[in-house]
A and B are shown apart, each in its own frame.
Chain A
Amino acid sequence: MKKFIEGSYAVAEAVKLCRPGVVSAYPITPQTHIVEGLAQFVADGELKAEFVNVESEHSAASAVLGAVATGVRAFTSSSSQGLLLMTEVIFNIAGMRLPLVLACANRAVSAPINIWNDQQDVMTIRDSGWILLFAENIQEVIDLHIQAYRISEDHSIMLPVMVNLDGYILTHGLEVADMPSQEQVDKFLPPYKPLYKLDTSDPMTLGCLAMPEHYMEARVAIQKTQEAALDFIPKVAGEFKKVFGRESGGLVEAYKIEDAKQVIVAMGSIVGTIKETVDELRAQGKKVGVLKLITYRPFPKQAILNALKNVPEIAVVDKSISLGSNSPLYTDLTSAFIGQDKVSKISGFVLGLGGRDITKDSIKQVFDKLSGKQVDCEFIDVKKELLEEEYAGN
């Protein structure tokens, strides 16, 4: 059913339709509406679940870990410092091969403290073994959560999935989106069938100590599963289309890149802004396009190479930075081209940190600069005068 809905409540409704048995979270802006929505569903009896109000994000992640280990579908949500506090548990959940869905309302990290959007938070856990999905708009927010459970709980995967949605832009923005029916979701997403669980009728030990003769294989197994997920994620998107009637999910989405001379690669809500800019520039006769990454982990190297093989100039725009190096997405993308016969010119740009506005003009600057000298890490819309004033002499 089409409805005009805020992104956070869209997450809450989509998750409710997935019928989790345990929900646990700790408040952090701009994630709070998500769990407030779920708490209300539980309070109203619309969602039969245990809602656990914990004392920190570390405990929120730990509580849902315990719930999934006991064989019950669970959900948590966080952002920024909350995700950083969870980090230890985030790695643990993936290592224990427990399926879980977490919504991350992407936000800047301290210091300085800043509650506005960028994607530096999720980049801190990109190596954790989680499958990382990024939503462009509220429809995708809904669809990716439903697909996330399907991917995570499949016995060939058994890895947690994080659905990333840009803080404020998507969490507090309102859009018209189609909220599926319970029947549709039930048809697409069967009840969780644990592969292993804590059960007194069949006791097993979870979370063993692995010595050097066993540890490495456990990590390699996750890497192999991540590779397998590159095939499985599009398959789930295909099944989703059959039930819900729309294309959503998968690895990448190409927008006007067939004949493009310049393509921007990006993730999240910024892609909407880029698409509009592409339309404007195309109206002026410029051959530009955008490649959206929906799936960031596993990194869809082959899908990207296939999409970009004939594009001479590629810009990576990222709302995060690996300080002292380049943006994570830029590093990933350039490494994908290693060993290819034809390597395009690839430049890296960082923008929108801590909620700095990203306008169509910002995107036009990227296309302009892309024609110039190749750059690894150029910041867009930085106030030079502020840098000089504030950091003079440093």
Chain B
Amino acid sequence: MPETKILYNPGHTACGGCGQAIAARLVIEAAGENTIIVNNTGCLEVFTTKYPESAWGVPFIHSLFENAGAVASGVESALKFLGKKEGTNVIAQAGDGGTADIGLQALSGMWERGHDILSVCYDNEAYMNTGIQRSGLTPFDSNTTTSPTGKESFGNPKMKKPVPEIARAHGIPYVATASVAFVRDLQNKVKKAISIKGPKYIQIHVPCPLGWRHEGAQTVTVARAAIETGLYPIFEYVNGELAGVQKIKPKPVEEYLKLQGRFKHLLKAPEQIKKIQEIADNNIKKYGLKLEA
């Protein structure tokens, strides 16, 4: 085997089965060693950079919760000034809260200015680092600590914020979703994204066993079920046009919901399941996900 540099070392402190930990490794291994990572505050930064250790075999900077888009803009501008931008990838990465909520303004600025940067969102659908609070990417009816279920609540009352659509509306050349369940697709998308000049956005679905309440060994199973039910559509937009989707033979949403404690309360609430099935059906229709026999 050829000797390769380790870009993401074992020994970090993520939970067993952490989808984000797996996806982060897949991303950097696809991007390669000539990559600078700018990371928002969140689980990933915490479990990979506890001083005096670091999991990263590439240059890595963490500044604050919401500013990866702006810090990366500065990194990229500095590389341009140095004449080193060619051949160096810049990745700005964050969790769903750091992307969809607190970090969205800086990302919007970065996309609008056209920096040659790939932004990656590790979407585990809540603020996990602080204890499973609801974010703009938390799905409908999910039970989190700030959208708890109760006599008058089925959990999070809002739909996921359409961040890929928001990214696309900036006119950026590449927007895609991916999943930790489909490694090759994820890595191909990272490689494709960095081959394109300008701003790119990839949102990766990454189960969090702690927050979603499933066994660590079930991470890939859960992630796959999200896709197979149509609840997490996998698509790719190149220059604003839908360039590809992952086709599915749609399964009922219960097949996904029943795997996770965060949706447990719904199994006795058929009218809620119906609403969630509608979300999946809409996705299937909108993106043409159904595999025609």
**Chain B 17-47 interface mask (CB, 8 Å, partner A; 1/0):** 0000000000000000111101000000110
CB < 8 Å neighbour of B46 from A55, A200, A206, A209: A209
Q: Is the CB of B61 within 8 A of A50?
A: no
Cα separation A211 to B52 with both chains bound (whole Å): 10
Chain A residue at minimum C-beta to C-beta distance from B13:
A209
Instruction: List the B side residues contacting A200 at CB < 8 Å.
Output: 33-36, 58-59, 88
CB < 8 Å neighbour of A22 from B34, B62, B67, B81: B81
Q: Is the CB of A198 within 8 A of B36?
A: yes
Q: How far is the CB of A50 from chain B (nearest CB, A)?
A: 4
Q: Is the CB of A209 within 8 A of B81?
A: no
Knowing A55-B105, A59-B70, A92-B64, say if A199 contacts B112 (CB, 8 Å).
no
Q: Is the CB of B50 within 8 A of A209?
A: yes
Cα separation A89 to B41 with both chains bound (whole Å): 13
Chain B residue at minimum C-beta to C-beta distance from A214:
B51
Interface size on A, as a range, is: 35 or more
Cα separation A364 to B60 with both chains bound (whole Å): 57
Q: Is the CB of B109 within 8 A of A70?
A: no
B279 at the binding interface (Cβ < 8 Å): no
Segment from B71-79, B194-202, B211-219, B251-259 that makes contact with A: B71-79
Q: Is the CB of B109 within 8 A of A55?
A: yes
Q: Is the CB of B33 within 8 A of A74?
A: no
Knowing A50-B77, A70-B75, say if A89 contacts B64 (CB, 8 Å).
yes
Instruction: List the A side residues contacting B34 at CB < 8 Å.
Output: 200
Count, chain B residues at interface, CB 8 A: 44
Q: Is the CB of A59 within 8 A of B56?
A: no
Within 8 A of B (CB), among A12-28: 21-22, 24
Q: Is the CB of B56 within 8 A of A208?
A: no
Cα separation A24 to B80 with both chains bound (whole Å): 14
Cα separation A205 to B28 with both chains bound (whole Å): 14
Cα separation A58 to B63 with both chains bound (whole Å): 12
Q: Is the CB of B57 within 8 A of A203?
A: yes
CB < 8 Å neighbour of B59 from A21, A55, A59, A203: A203
Knowing A70-B82, A208-B54, say if A62 contacts B61 (CB, 8 Å).
no
Instruction: List the A side residues contacting B108 at CB < 8 Å.
Output: 55
Max count, chain A CB within 10 A of own CB: residue among B57, B80, B108 = B80
A71 at the binding interface (Cβ < 8 Å): yes
Q: How far is the CB of A82 from chain B (nearest CB, A)?
A: 14
A372 at the binding interface (Cβ < 8 Å): no
Instruction: List the B side residues contacting A62 at CB < 8 Å.
Output: 63-64, 67, 70-71, 73-74, 106
A210 at the binding interface (Cβ < 8 Å): yes
Instruction: List the A side residues contacting B54 at CB < 8 Å.
Output: 205, 208
B116 at the binding interface (Cβ < 8 Å): no
A65 at the binding interface (Cβ < 8 Å): yes
Chain B residue at minimum C-beta to C-beta distance from A48:
B81
**Chain A 44-64 interface mask (CB, 8 Å, partner B; 1/0):** 000011101111101110111
Q: Is the CB of A66 within 8 A of B61?
A: yes
**Chain A 191-222 interface mask (CB, 8 Å, partner B; 1/0):** 00000001110011111111100100000000
Chain B residue at minimum C-beta to C-beta distance from A91:
B64
Instruction: List the B side residues contacting A53 at CB < 8 Å.
Output: 113
**Chain B 135-176 interface mask (CB, 8 Å, partner A; 1/0):** 000000000000000000000000000000000000000000
Chain B residue at minimum C-beta to C-beta distance from A54:
B109
CB < 8 Å neighbour of B105 from A59, A67, A72, A209: A59
Cα separation A88 to B71 with both chains bound (whole Å): 13
CB < 8 Å neighbour of B74 from A64, A88, A214: A64
Q: Is the CB of A209 within 8 A of B51?
A: yes
Cα separation A206 to B109 with both chains bound (whole Å): 23
Cα separation A63 to B76 with both chains bound (whole Å): 9
Knowing A58-B66, A214-B52, say if A205 contacts B75 (CB, 8 Å).
no
Q: Is the CB of B112 within 8 A of A72?
A: no
B260 at the binding interface (Cβ < 8 Å): no
Q: Is the CB of A59 within 8 A of B49?
A: no
A252 at the binding interface (Cβ < 8 Å): no
A69 at the binding interface (Cβ < 8 Å): yes
A96 at the binding interface (Cβ < 8 Å): yes
Knowing A62-B74, A66-B73, A70-B74, say if A209 contacts B57 (CB, 8 Å).
no
Q: Is the CB of A88 within 8 A of B64?
A: yes
Cα separation A48 to B80 with both chains bound (whole Å): 11
B209 at the binding interface (Cβ < 8 Å): no
Q: Is the CB of A50 within 8 A of B78?
A: yes
Q: Is the CB of B63 within 8 A of A72?
A: no
Q: How far is the CB of A344 from chain B (nearest CB, A)?
A: 43
Q: Is the CB of A209 within 8 A of B74?
A: no
Instruction: List the A side residues contacting B98 at CB < 8 Å.
Output: none
Knowing A24-B74, A66-B71, say if A208 contacts B66 (CB, 8 Å).
no
Cα separation A214 to B50 with both chains bound (whole Å): 10
Q: How far is the CB of B29 from chain A (nearest CB, A)?
A: 14
B69 at the binding interface (Cβ < 8 Å): yes
Cα separation A95 to B169 with both chains bound (whole Å): 36
Q: Is the CB of A209 within 8 A of B45?
A: yes
Instruction: List the B side residues contacting A71 at CB < 8 Å.
Output: 78, 82
Instruction: Give residues in B with beta carbon < 8 Å to A.
Output: 33-36, 38, 45-46, 49-52, 54, 56-64, 66-67, 69-82, 88, 105-106, 108-109, 112-113
Instruction: Give residues in A with beta carbon < 8 Å to B.
Output: 21-22, 24, 48-50, 52-56, 58-60, 62-72, 74, 88-89, 92, 96, 198-200, 203-211, 214
Beyond A55-B106, A67-B74, 11 extra complex contacts between A and B, CB < 8 Å: A22-B74, A62-B67, A62-B71, A67-B75, A69-B75, A70-B36, A70-B74, A88-B64, A200-B34, A207-B60, A209-B49
Query: Could you show 21 A-B contacts with beta carbons less than 8 Å apart?
Result: A21-B78, A22-B77, A22-B81, A50-B77, A53-B113, A56-B106, A58-B106, A59-B106, A60-B70, A62-B63, A62-B64, A64-B74, A66-B38, A66-B75, A70-B82, A92-B63, A96-B63, A198-B61, A200-B33, A206-B60, A207-B62
